[in-house]
Structure 1
């Protein structure tokens, strides 16, 4: 396994955001949880806020703002799974 695993949320074909697969599992877990909590917190806020006045672009930005930390957190959690 390569030491650095690219996150799926890289904006270009050349990854610049990477997970250190040799990082201690507690560090991966802490960083994953931070990102997941951030994404969930944004989704909870969106659920409690009326969105009638948002444009299509604003809606996309809100969805992307929740998606990015959730996907990054998932990528980090996947590094904690045993690989066969």
Structure 2
């Protein structure tokens, strides 16, 4: 197994963001939790908003931010071992 795993959220031909598989499992789990919590908090905030006056680009920006947070969190969780 390679030490570094490219995040699935990389959008370039040459990945630049990686997970260090030798990092402490607790640290990987904490990073995953942090990203997923940020996504959940953003979604909670969005439930209180009215999108009738939102610009299409704003919606795209929100979706992109949520995708990055959730995908990175999932990549991190997939690389933690239950002990």
Normalised to the residue count of structure 2, the TM-score between the two structures is 0.92
Question: 1:59: how far off?
Answer: 0.6
In 2, distance between residues paired with 1:53 and 1:59? 11
SS at match of 2:19: strand
1:34 and 2:34 matched: yes
SS at match of 1:19: strand
Correspondence 1:63-74 to 2 at 5 A? 63-74=63-74
Question: 1:67: how far off?
Answer: 1.3
In 1, distance between residues paired with 2:75 and 2:60? 22
Question: 1:81: how far off?
Answer: 4.4
In 1, distance between residues paired with 2:57 and 2:19? 30
- Consecutive unaligned residues of structure 1, counting only runs of 5 or more, are none
Runs of 4+ in structure 1 deviating by more than 6 angstroms, as ranges, are none
1:11 and 2:11 matched: yes
In 2, distance between residues paired with 1:50 and 1:81? 41
Structure 1 counterpart of 2:77: 77
Q: Tell me how large the CA RMSD over aligned residues is.
A: 1.2
In 1, distance between residues paired with 2:35 and 2:56? 25
Instruction: Give a deviation string over 1:17-64, Cα, whole Å, max 9, x none.
Output: 000011110000000000000111111111111111112111110111
Normalised to the residue count of structure 1, the TM-score between the two structures is 0.91
